Amino acid sequence: MMKNFLRTAGVFVVYMISSAHVGSPDTWFEGDAGPYHLTVQIEPAGVVPGVAKVFVRATGDAPQQVTIQANKFDATGGAPPPEPAVPVPGDPGLFEGKLWIMSSGSNSVTVAVNGTKGSGKVVVPAVVVAYSRLKLDKPMGAGLAVMGIFLIAGLVTIVGAAVRESVLPPGDAPSANTQKRARVAMSITSVLLAAAIFGGWKWWNSEDASYVRGIYKPLSAVAAVDQSSPSPGLKLSITDGPWIHRNDSLWLSRHGGNGWTPLVEDHGKLIHIFLIGERTAAFAHLHSATRDSVNFPASLPPLPADNYRVFADIVHESGFTHTMVTSVSVADPVKGQTFTSSDPDDSFFTGNPARTASRAILDDGSTMDWLGQNSHPAAGKPADLRFEIRRADGSRVVLEPYMGMAGHAVVERADGTVFVHLHPTGTISMASQMAFAMRQPGDTIKGRLGMRISEAEMSQMQHAVPANGAVSFPYAFPREGPYNVWVQVRYDGSVHTCRFMMSVKAAPAT
**Among 440, 385, 442, which Cα is nearest to 410's?**
385
3-class secondary-structure state, position 13? helix
Can you give 77-91 as a three-state secondary structure string? CCCCCCEEEEECCCC
Per-residue pLDDT of the chain in tens (510 residues, 90 and over written 9)? 334 433 433 443 333 344 457 888 899 999 999 999 999 999 988 888 889 999 999 988 889 999 999 988 766 556 788 999 999 999 999 999 999 988 888 889 999 999 999 999 999 999 888 777 778 888 898 999 999 999 999 999 999 899 888 878 887 888 888 888 889 999 999 999 999 999 999 998 988 888 777 777 778 999 999 877 778 899 999 999 989 998 888 888 888 777 788 899 999 899 999 999 999 989 999 999 999 999 999 999 999 999 999 999 999 988 889 899 999 999 987 666 778 888 999 999 998 666 678 899 998 999 999 998 666 789 999 999 999 999 999 999 999 999 989 999 999 999 999 999 999 999 998 888 888 877 776 666 677 777 777 777 666 655 556 667 899 999 999 999 999 999 999 999 999 999 999 899 998 776
> Cα separations (Å) of 361 from 153, 408, 483?
76, 17, 19
Task: Find residue 480's DSSP bridge partners.
Answer: none
Cβ neighbours around 8 below 10 Å, total: 12
User: pTM, whole model, 2 decimals?
Assistant: 0.83
**Rounded CA gap, 78 and 458, in Å?**
31
For 342-406, the DSSP string reads SSTT-EEE----EEETTEEE-TTS-EEEETTGGG--BTTSB--EEEEEE-TTSPBP--B-BTTBS
User: Which residues have a Cβ under 8 Å from the Cβ of 257 and sit 6 or more positions away?
Assistant: 241, 242, 245, 246, 251
* Radius of gyration of the chain, Cα coordinates, nearest whole angstrom: 29
> Which string of b and e fits 408-445 if b means at least 16 CB within 10 Å?
bbbbbbeebbbbbbbbbbbbbbbbbbbbbeebeeebee
Cβ neighbours around 116 below 10 Å, total: 9
